[in-house]
């Protein structure tokens, strides 16, 4: 089992390839890997409670740890209590900790 940190900075409403990235995270978890999907910059827009959050909710329910950068949320006026189920705010320290773990493989999109 491998550990993955996947960072998504794009808003799925603007870029069609974000869905592929979500699918990749889901596939990695199905194969038995530990995956953290860290939403940052405009990627946090997808974390809000809305019909568009369905895909993120599904992959979180499947075992992907989905977190949204707390600074990016504040910058965009998104309150933590408006996030979709199973999506939690997190600080950049989480990314630093995961990157410091030599067993974690990182990808940025």
| Distance (Å, whole) CA 8 – CA 17 | 11
The Cα diameter of the chain in Å comes to: 37
Average the pLDDT over each of 16-20, 49-53, 55-59 and give the range with the smallest value: 49-53
Question: pTM score, two decimals?
Answer: 0.94
pLDDT above 90 (res 57): no
> Given this model, what pLDDT does residue 1 score?
86
User: What are the boundaries of each domain within the chain?
Assistant: 3-108
| Distance (Å, whole) CA 44 – CA 70 | 9
| Distance (Å, whole) CA 96 – CA 75 | 20
3-state secondary structure of 6: strand
> Considering the domain 3-108 in this protein, what is its CATH number?
3.40.1260.10
């Amino acid at each position: 089992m491998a550990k993955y940190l996947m960072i998504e900075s794009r808003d799925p409403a603007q870029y069609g390839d974000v869905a592929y990235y979500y699918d990749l995270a889901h596939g990695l978890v199905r194969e038995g890997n530990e995956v953290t999907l860290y939403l940052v910059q405009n990627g946090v827009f997808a974390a809000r409670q809305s019909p568009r959050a369905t895909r993120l909710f599904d992959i979180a329910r499947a075992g992907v740890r989905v977190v949204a950068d707390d600074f990016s949320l504040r910058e965009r006026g998104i309150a933590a209590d408006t996030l979709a189920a199973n999506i939690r705010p997190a600080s950049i320290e989480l990314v630093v900790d995961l990157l410091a773990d030599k067993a974690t493989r990182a990808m940025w999109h």
